[in-house]
């Protein structure tokens, strides 16, 4: 009697079953491998092609290679994820897992970090490095309490005032209508302490503000002024660095904790190398950027002694105003003691 259509012989059925089993096992293995891959979405406000973004792409490639493809980065540069406050909101709901922040975003998480941006506090990069090194463990613990892992410090560099009108004339800084990062009350209060009218704007609106006359000045490290093309709309740079703009690379602690011990070690070590290299590049390129700005025709103005004294008094007022609001008197005193000991060496 013939078998009904659809039946198979014993050996045929066994071969078919074996084939299905092999397929299922292979599919299962692929699924497990896919699940083992951790994708970390990283946001930056700096544009593609900039020093900071290029360095992050190098870090991403190194981490992927060293983890055998188990940890990969997806990079969102150029502010496509919004400004730093937008990015922070997305990190808190796990839409973004890691990001490079300036002091603005860092200060929302851990206000005392803004002690590193106290005006006229540092005289050199060496002093910046000494303070960060001495306080690193303190800040690591502070960010951990807030649900973040500090993978390393970075920086944008020393900040200068840029303006369309002169800043050393009889009016000093009075004619300035300066951009202040929207959502950053520290920047606004600092500028106002220096006698500057502050106009809060989103980072993406600075160019438009300069073009329309809403603002006639901005504060920025030289490299950032070029990267964002703001420098093309001003005439003067005040050759007197006001503050060192700090930065850092953070990842959600819950994301970091899900990695294996080996992958945590790789990510942490490579990120520290990335941040150290980024600081080195940033400092070198900021120095080069000053020369580019000079060559472009921007006039470098030196403040006179009386104006410097006014700046120093304004800076002390800022320090006093931020104590016990952003950072404690004890922490500020500790920073001053670290600097005093370093300067006496």
Tell me the pLDDT tens digit for each residue of 112-142: 999 999 999 999 999 999 999 999 999 999 9
* pLDDT tier for residue 38 given thresholds of 50, 70 and 90: very high
**pLDDT of amino acid 12:** 52
**pLDDT of amino acid 261:** 97
Within 10 Å of residue 135's Cβ, how many Cβ atoms?
A: 20
Tens-digit pLDDT profile for residues 39-68: 999 999 988 988 889 999 999 999 999 999
Between 33 and 195, name the one with better pLDDT. Answer: 195
Which residue in this structure is represented by tokens 């921007």?
A: 298
**pLDDT of amino acid 9:** 54
Q: Both tokens of residue 288?
A: 């080069």
Tens-digit pLDDT profile for residues 292-316: 999 999 999 999 999 999 999 999 9
Q: Write the CB contacts of 128 (distance below 8 Å, at least 6 apart in sequence).
A: 116, 122, 155, 244
CB burial class (10 A; 0-12, 13-18, 19+) of residue 134?
Answer: middle
**pLDDT of amino acid 11:** 55
**pLDDT of amino acid 333:** 97
* pLDDT tier for residue 183 given thresholds of 50, 70 and 90: confident
Tens-digit pLDDT profile for residues 232-244: 999 999 999 999 9
Domain segments of the chain: what residues?
36-343
Helices (H) and strands (E) in the chain, counts: 12, 9
Q: Is the pLDDT of residue 263 over 70?
A: yes
Within 10 Å of residue 168's Cβ, how many Cβ atoms?
A: 17
Tell me the β-bridge partners of 36. none
**pLDDT of amino acid 14:** 56
Which CATH number applies to 36-343: 3.30.70.120, 3.30.450.20, 2.40.50.140, 3.40.190.170?
3.40.190.170
Q: Is the pLDDT of residue 22 over 80?
A: no
**pLDDT of amino acid 51:** 84
Tell me the β-bridge partners of 302. none
**pLDDT of amino acid 18:** 46
Mean pLDDT, all residues of the chain: 90
Inter-axis angle of helices 51-66 and 261-295, to 10 degrees?
160
**pLDDT of amino acid 10:** 56
Calculate the CA 179 to chain-centre distance.
19
What CA–CA distance (Å, rounded) separates 192 from 195? 5
The answer to whether residues 198 and 191 touch, using CB atoms and an 8 Å cutoff, is: yes
Q: What percent of the chain clears pLDDT 70, i.e. is strictly above it?
A: 90
Within 10 Å of residue 28's Cβ, how many Cβ atoms?
A: 10
The candidate with the shortest Cα–Cα distance to 337, out of 74, 53, 69, 134, is 134
Average of per-residue pLDDT across 78-83: 92
This prediction's pTM? 0.84
Range from 29-43, 138-152, 206-220, 317-331 carrying the lowest mean pLDDT: 29-43
Average of per-residue pLDDT across 315-341: 96
What CA–CA distance (Å, rounded) separates 31 from 45? 34
**pLDDT of amino acid 172:** 94
Range from 26-30, 53-57, 206-210, 341-345 carrying the lowest mean pLDDT: 26-30
**pLDDT of amino acid 82:** 92
């Amino acid at each position: 009697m013939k078998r009904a259509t659809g039946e198979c012989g014993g050996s045929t059925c066994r071969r078919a079953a074996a084939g299905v089993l092999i397929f299922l096992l292979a599919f299962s293995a692929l699924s497990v491998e896919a699940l083992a891959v951790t994708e970390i979405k990283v946001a930056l406000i700096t544009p593609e092609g900039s020093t900071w973004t290029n360095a992050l792409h190098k870090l991403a490639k190194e981490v992927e290679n060293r983890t055998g493809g188990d940890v990969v980065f997806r990079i969102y540069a150029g502010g496509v994820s919004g400004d730093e406050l937008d990015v922070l909101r997305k990190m808190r709901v796990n839409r973004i897992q890691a990001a490079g922040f300036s002091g603005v975003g860092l200060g929302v998480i851990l206000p005392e970090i803004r002690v590193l941006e106290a005006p006229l506090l540092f005289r050199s990069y060496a002093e910046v490095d000494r303070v960060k090194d001495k306080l690193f463990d303190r800040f690591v613990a502070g960010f951990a309490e807030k649900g973040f892992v500090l993978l390393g410090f970075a920086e944008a560099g020393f900040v200068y005032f840029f303006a369309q009108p002169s800043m050393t004339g009889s009016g000093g800084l009075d004619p300035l209508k300066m951009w202040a990062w929207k959502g950053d009350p520290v920047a606004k209060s600092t500028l106002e302490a220096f006698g500057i009218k502050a106009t809060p704007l989103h980072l993406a609106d600075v160019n438009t503000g300069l073009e329309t006359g809403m603002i006639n000045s901005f504060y920025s490290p030289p490299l950032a002024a070029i990267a964002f093309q703001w420098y093309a709309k001003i005439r003067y740079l005040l050759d007197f660095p006001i503050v060192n703009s700090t930065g850092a690379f953070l990842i959600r602690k819950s994301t970091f904790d899900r990695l294996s011990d080996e992958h945590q070690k790789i990510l942490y070590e490579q990120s520290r190398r990335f941040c150290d290299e980024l600081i080195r590049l940033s400092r070198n390129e900021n120095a080069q950027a000053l020369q580019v700005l000079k060559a472009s025709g921007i006039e470098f103005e030196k403040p006179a002694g009386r104006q410097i004294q006014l700046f120093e008094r304004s800076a002390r007022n800022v320090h006093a105003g931020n104590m016990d609001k952003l950072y404690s008197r004890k922490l500020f005193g500790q920073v001053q003691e670290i600097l005093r000991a370093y300067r006496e060496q």
